[in-house]
Every structure is written in structure tokens, then in C-alpha cells.
Structure 1
Amino acid sequence: MDCFICRIVARDAPASFVLEDQSTVAFVDIRQPNEGHILVVPRVHIETIDLLEKPLASDLAWSTVRTARAVRRAYRPPGMNVWESNGEAGGQEVPHVHFHVLPRHHGDGLLRVYPDAHPRTFGPADPALEAIAERVRRVIS
């Protein structure tokens, strides 16, 4: 398998690391739409978030929190995005789970969640929301 993130973790590709522990690493993304954009990844190759087991998911979440705190302290941004994408349709560009930590600034024009879409919006007690919840509850583990 030729995974760019796995090559970085193995030190077969260059990266500027900001955090390393037994199960995760965080490094500076080569794309810096705002300075301080960091990726947090598991050391083992796992393609999508739904394939993570609880111990690694917990470690990855904690490393992401630690990284976000560090970015907040280092850059003092007025906002921050943390996201993870899955599958081509979801915008995943590298098939290895990775969380983005991106400092945000007023007017930076980045990452509008629904830039041109008009998502359906429901009232909090709408039965459609309960139907969605039930569909997911049936298969949650």
C-alpha cells in the first residue's frame, strides 16, 4: 500500500511534527490556508473514522484536543475548525484517517459548511428528526 500519511509516520517522507505519542502523531499540513493548519493522524493505517476501535479513537481525539489547545495558544485565533472527511464524496483526499486543526480568522473566506446549499431545517420537535435518530439507533454499536 502506498499511503502518503503512512510514509510520513514512518519517517520516509518529510514532515514537521508537533506531537508524537505511542498511537498518534500531529504534523504541519503542507497547505496553510491559515498559518497553523495541523493534521492529527493515527500511526496505523486506517482509512475511515468508522473503522477505528475505541482505544485508538480515544487517543486520536485526545491528541486532536491537545493540538487544538496548542494552536489556540500559539496563534490566538478568534475561531478554529476541527474536521475529518471520509470517502471521495466526503472530500477525503488521502485514504488515512486524519483530523484537520485549522485556526480561523474573521473574513478569511474558508470552509463554509453549506456554501451554496440550502439544507433542510426542522423544528426541534419535528417527527422527521426522530425518524432519523431511530434509523441510526437501530444500527449503532
Structure 2
Amino acid sequence: MVSDGRGSTCPFCEIAEGRSPADRVYETPEVLAFLPLSPATTGHTLIIPKLHITDLWHADTRSLEPVMAASLVVAQALKTALSPDGLNLINSAGTAATQTVFHLHIHLVPRWDGDQMGDFWPESTPWSESKRATLAERIRKSIH
């Protein structure tokens, strides 16, 4: 059994290994897509790697490629099946980003104009050109 890193059994590993039930919608040897118990909207789907990876910061390109490929397959299926007006692809890494299950997962959330999700982006003020340039340089220097 895989621990979630916090002393508990990982619920997504339990689902991936078939020890907990889930409404599976897509599966490959590397990934699983299933419906969450408490969806944000109709069709809300989770995509997980079957291998336990805590979050995006612990992933590598090889492990993330099948997750993103599955996200595209399922997103197209959601568009065909449900005809939403839009789609959010959401990933949270860490508690500050509201991650509650510490197994990498992508939320595909179909959206409709006026749905209960609403606009979740906060109002913001544009940054100065120098502040943006300084931040961009800091990020570029941190890329390995």
C-alpha cells in the first residue's frame, strides 16, 4: 500500500489499484480517469497517473506525458458527450493551492455560461514593465 506522505493510505492509489470503487471513464496502463465523488460540474473528471506521484513538483516529463495525453482524450470526449461552453484544466500542488489529495491529479471541469463555478480569478492590477522583466529573468535563471 502506498502512503500519501502524511501517514495515510493514498485514496487515489486505492482507486488505481482497484481496491476502492470509482466510476472509471478512461484507462491506459499508465493513467486512470474517473469521476470524483463531489463534482464541481456535470462531467467533472479526474486524471491521475497510476504510479504514485505526490504533485506536479515531483513529476518528470516521462510520467507527465501520459497524464496530459489522457487529459486531451477525455477533454475531447467531454466536449462530444456534453457540449459544454468551455473547460477548465486545473492542477493544484500543495495545501496553499488547495491540494487535498496528495497524488498528482488533473481536474477537467466542463463549464457552462452562468454555472455555479463562477469566475474564480481575482481582480488584479497590471504590473509595471520593470517588475515583469525582473520576474521573468528570475524565472529564466531558475530553469534547469
Per the TM alignment, residue 5 of structure 1 is displaced from its structure 2 partner at its CA by 0.4
Normalising by structure 2, report the TM-score: 0.89
Quote the residue 1:140 is aligned against: 143
Per the TM alignment, residue 59 of structure 1 is displaced from its structure 2 partner at its CA by 1.1
Over the matched positions of the two proteins, sequence identity in percent amounts to: 28
Instruction: State which of 26, 34, 37 in structure 1 corresponds to 2:41.
Output: 34
Instruction: State which of 62, 73, 94 in structure 1 corresponds to 2:69.
Output: 62
Which structure 1 residue ranges, 5 or more long, are not aligned? none
Partners in 2 of 1:121 and 1:109 — Cα distance?
28
1:108-127 equivalence runs, <5 A: 108-110=115-117, 112-114=119-121, 117-122=122-127, 126-127=129-130
Normalising by structure 1, report the TM-score: 0.91
Q: Deviations over 1:97-126 (max 9, x none)?
A: 100011111111305332xx4333236xx1
Partners in 1 of 2:124 and 2:131 — Cα distance?
14
Q: Which runs of 4+ in 1 moved over 2 A?
A: 111-114, 117-120
Distance 1:119 1:79, change over 3 A: same
1:78 maps onto 2:82 in alignment: no
Partners in 2 of 1:86 and 1:50 — Cα distance?
7
Per the TM alignment, residue 139 of structure 1 is displaced from its structure 2 partner at its CA by 1.3
Per the TM alignment, residue 85 of structure 1 is displaced from its structure 2 partner at its CA by 0.4
1:15-26 equivalence runs, <5 A: 15-26=22-33
How many pairs align? 137
- Report the RMSD for the aligned CA atoms in angstroms: 1.4
